[in-house]
Structure 1
C-alpha cells in the first residue's frame, strides 16, 4: 500500500446551497491508501491549504470518496460550483498524542472506554484534541474527552 500524496483535477459540486461546495475523489486515487472509513487528510486546493479535513466514502453506488469544503475555504479561493480545481491530498498523521496515551496508561476506566470506541470516534477525539491551540486548551479538551467517553461505559 502506498501512503504518498495524491494529485488530481476535479470539479466543485453543490447539491444544496445550504451545505456548500464539495468534490469527488476518484477511487483510483485513494485505492492504494486502503481506506475503509472516514479518514483525516491534509492538502491543498488551488494551492490554498485545506487544513486537517475528513474524506468520506460516497456510499454503495460508487467507489469514489468525497470532501466537503467550508465557506472560509471556498471564499479564500473564490470558488463556485462547476469550477475545475487542482487538489493535492496526503494522509494526516494520526499518531496518538502523548497526553492521550499517558491518560490511557494511568486511568483504567479511560483505557476501557477508549478501547470500546469505534475507530471513527477515536479519530474524532484525536482531531478534537489536536485542534486546541494552547496547552491549557489541550488539557481542557482531554478532560472533556475523558468525561464524554467514560459516560458511554
Structure 2
C-alpha cells in the first residue's frame, strides 16, 4: 500500500489528484520529475507522491467559479475564427465638383424635355386591325388581336364583351 502524501486524506483523493495531473501531462504539460517510463499516469503518480504537484481542496463555490471559467474559455475558443477575416477596405467617398456654369446648362436641359403622352400605345393603327366580321354576342365589329400566339379576332368592345374566336387560315 502506498503512503499518502501529507494533506491527502484518502486513496481516492490521491487517485483523483494523480488523474488530473495525468490529464495535464497528456495535454502537453512539462513533467516535473524525470522518470524512465513514458506513461503519463505513472509519471503523475510519482509526482504526486513526491509532493511536486501543488493542490488544495476546492470548496463548492470555488468549484463553481472554476467550472464557469472553463465554460467561458471553451465558448470563446469555439467562437474565435481560425482565420479572422481582414477588415474590408472602404474607399473614401469623393463627390464630383460641378461648376456653376454647367449647373445652369443642366437646368436649361431639364426644362426643355418634351412631354411624352404615355397613354398612347405604339402599335398598328386601329383601322388596320378592324375586320368586316361582327361579334356574335353583342353585334359590335371584330378586331384582330395584335399580340399573343396564334391568329385570333376579338370583340372591339372588350372588356365589356369577351368574345374571342380563332381565325382559320
TM-score class, shorter: under 0.3
Which one has more relative contact order, counting CA pairs under 8 Å at least 6 apart? 1
User: Which structure shows the higher strand fraction?
Assistant: 1
Q: TM-score with structure 2 length normalisation?
A: 0.17
TM-score normalised over the length of structure 1: 0.18
